[in-house]
Homo-oligomer: A and B are copies of this chain.
Amino acid sequence: MGTTQLEAAPEPKYWHLKTVIGEALDSDFTVGEVLPNERDLAARFGVARATLRQALEQLELEGRLQRRRGVGTTVAPPRVGVDVSTTQHSWPGMGEDGWQSVDRAADAAPAAVARLLELAPGEQVHVVRRLRVTDGQTVAAELLYVPAGSVPALTDADAPDPVGTATHARGVLRELGRLALEGQDRSVELGSARADDAKELDRLPGAPVLVVTTRYLSAGRTAAVAVATYRADTCRLTFGDSGDLAMAS
């Protein structure tokens, strides 16, 4: 023995560490259990703390660990499946599906959203902030962009409800619900949490998130665009009628 693989692999240390720790998690730990702190672990494996952290970062990315500053590193529960199927959704805010409207921001739409909405430069846009909560956990933060032209009833009367309130947000959703929804499409991509989203999701800025962009079509044009950011570490987005898919490692 010894020459089994003939100098087989210059495998990075952190990669090997990740494997070893990952297997230990399966066999020796239970969900919620706290791991030894990083300095101890690094010493135990005979590596620098930075190297150990590289392994932990990957495990956290895969949803196997959860780390919180000032607290420690714990074994994460399996990812929760959140339904984002396109079929059973009508307009946002219709029927209670875990979303709650928070307020209406006054910000303008970012360039990328303006492009999707085919906005004329300077055209006014309503922005509704919503959070998606399941089991007491905030799993997603969304910004819903509605061009003023899509909800004309809100534009002429200047302020039936003060801007930036949950009441006004509901007003926007109500007006939106009056339109005929002709279709919608979605896209999913990887992103990193902006500062405000990170705060809502109880993560640090830059944390990996799954960005779900939904386009709502009505009267032959894009009537609204929603950009929802889901916690990538704890969420598994499901499409279709299966909420019981469970993928691990």
Identify the A interface with B (CB < 8 A): 15, 18, 58, 61-63, 79, 81, 86, 110-112, 115-116, 183-192, 205-206, 208, 210-211, 213, 215, 227, 232-233, 235-242, 245-249
Task: List 20 other contacts, CB 8 Å, given A112-B248, A115-B246, A184-B240.
Answer: A58-B192, A61-B190, A62-B190, A62-B192, A110-B249, A111-B249, A112-B249, A183-B240, A183-B241, A185-B240, A185-B242, A185-B245, A187-B245, A190-B190, A190-B208, A208-B208, A213-B245, A213-B247, A215-B242, A227-B247
**In the assembly, what is the distance between CA of A111 and CA of B137, in Å?**
28
Chain B residue numbers with a CB within 8 Å of A18 are 206
Chain B residue numbers with a CB within 8 Å of A242 are 185, 187, 215
**Can you name 8 A-B residue pairings with CB atoms under 8 Å?**
A61-B192, A63-B190, A79-B189, A86-B240, A111-B248, A185-B245, A188-B188, A190-B208
Chain B residue numbers with a CB within 8 Å of A232 are 189-190
Chain B residue numbers with a CB within 8 Å of A79 are 189
CB distance from A64 to the nearest CB of B (A): 11
CB distance from A100 to the nearest CB of B (A): 24
Q: Is the CB of B238 within 8 A of A210?
A: no
**In the assembly, what is the distance between CA of A195 and CA of B204, in Å?**
29
**In the assembly, what is the distance between CA of A249 and CA of B235, in Å?**
21
Q: Is the CB of B190 within 8 A of A233?
A: yes
CB distance from A217 to the nearest CB of B (A): 9
**In the assembly, what is the distance between CA of A187 and CA of B84, in Å?**
9
CB distance from A11 to the nearest CB of B (A): 9
